[in-house]
Structure 1
Amino acid sequence: MVRENRYLKLMKEIYLKTFIKRLNMLAFAFLLAYSLNLLSAPSLQILALFLAFILFYSSVYFYNDLIDYEFDRKRKPVPEQKLLVKGFFSKEEYKLLFLFSLSLGFLLLLSFNPMFAFGSLFLVILNLARSHVPSLNFRIVSIFFVELINLILFWFLLTGEVLNAYVLPLFSLYSLVYICGFHVYKKNKKIDRKSAKLYAIPFIIFAYLSFPVLLERGIIIALSLGFLLHTLCVWAKREGDINMLTNVSMIGMLLSAMVFLSYPFVLAHAWQEKGYLSVKMESLPEDAVYLLYTQPKNLLGELNERCKEINETFRNLGSVFRV
């Protein structure tokens, strides 16, 4: 049934939810960039590019809903954001919305930052391509790389770097948690024990490689608080249907984004003088320091030298675009 408020519904279910999810990712990348003293982009430039990116990236959801139409019809209950299946819009209207978001969003990105625009285009093409794969497991794996590339794009937006070995494990960890949520969403809250074990192995690896940044920079406090807020929101409505879980998850993501964005300014300056932010290595057993800090940091340091070479290549490429 088509309703009068369908465009408000469109703004809420597509554009606003895209904004919240991507804001959480941008805030996460911002926290890391700030803690590593690598933040370089002006605030207005970040805001303009981010809003253009939201418009551009929203085209993915219109396209996916067109491709997944028959699958979504069989879901019980049908997720609220599936406006096409719910009859708010026709397929022809959805095709126009897809083209509008795709074309206008890309033109805006191209006018602001060509390198970021073409990186975003690659991300969207990758996302559209995975929609044609029937295997849910393959889609889940592909989304891991989609989210990882999205975080790398935001890192580039904030710092001008394409790769940084010290943040890649944390980006991978974030992407892994995201696809766990996607798995639950697609399975309508059901995830088997075998899948949980498969997620546990890379989680442990990425968490281990994240220790140097987490311990030295003290951002483990902000990350833990953000994760806790999101978890509490979802846990509070764990008995609800998938629509309820999706909505409270959006609230949790928004709250955690606020923590990530405000932490450097509200908490870090207040606590830094007292030394509460970083873990004092001398207070830990020598073996623990070597295992959890020295060893992974040395490995990441070697990888980061390779990353610097890649970054230099992209800087040269970016100068060509500017010319």
Structure 2
Amino acid sequence: MKLSISHTTHYSYSGPVSDSVNELRLTPFTNDQQSCYQHSISVEPNAPLFSYDDYFGNRVHVFSVNRQHRKLTIRSQMTVVTREAVKPSSGKEGMAPKDAWEWLACDKAANRFAEFLLPTDYTGITPEVAAFAETPAHGKTGEEQLGVYGWLLAVSNRIQSEFVYDPEATNVHTIAGDMLRRRRGVCQDFAHLMIAACRAKGVPARYVSGYHFVGDLQGGSADFEQASHAWVEAYVPGMGWSGFDPTNNALVGERYVKLGHGRDYKDIVPVKGVYMGTSDADLTVTVDVKKVED
């Protein structure tokens, strides 16, 4: 699927500000799942952009606006071709279930994926999270028979079916344990809960930010899922990293565009910065995702 995406972030300040220093993680990956054909970023007031790759391989653009200004606008535009999700062939995973769980428990896996196995501020492993991880398939146990991939599907399904999508229930600082008690949240919260459950079971998992296209499913109307979105990538022995969207209980395929990944949301905030001046600012973010016909 060929997708055209525009993402605009606009800040309006109540008074003049200066020395605004910002980081942007708005560049789509090119990998086995997607190819970025075109990408551009522009800033008003005009400022030079510098780029580098962070520890996780995300492309970061940085810029500074030193002179006084009352507005700041960041525009990102991209064209990406995506592919269908990779699934186990003939319904079988790359390793036998017992072998896969044993491989994840070995020192080699612990050393290789250390940063994606340790809990973070957002993905703390509370007793409630650990209990949730032990019964992913509505109370069913026996992960050796279920297999790692099957267990991940069960966790994603349980989160989507048992929790309510509610933009008013949580905020950007909500952690997995809090969302688990409230039983409601947004895509960021659902992703953090699934990551925490994965790490409780010794499955490497990382937080992914990007976009989810649903325009053709919604009659062309805008929807929260068509804006910025978050999901999970988990490591399945014998298969590699696989994407799961617990908000929609879906495999990550051609309707998804990945911008970056990290241990949790804090590692890959799309736009963040600091400035000197008034603390009063209005933020407006608009995202438009369209399918391009070849």
TM-score relative to the length of structure 1: 0.23
The higher-RCO structure (CA 8 Å, 6+ apart) is: 2
Bigger share in strand: 2
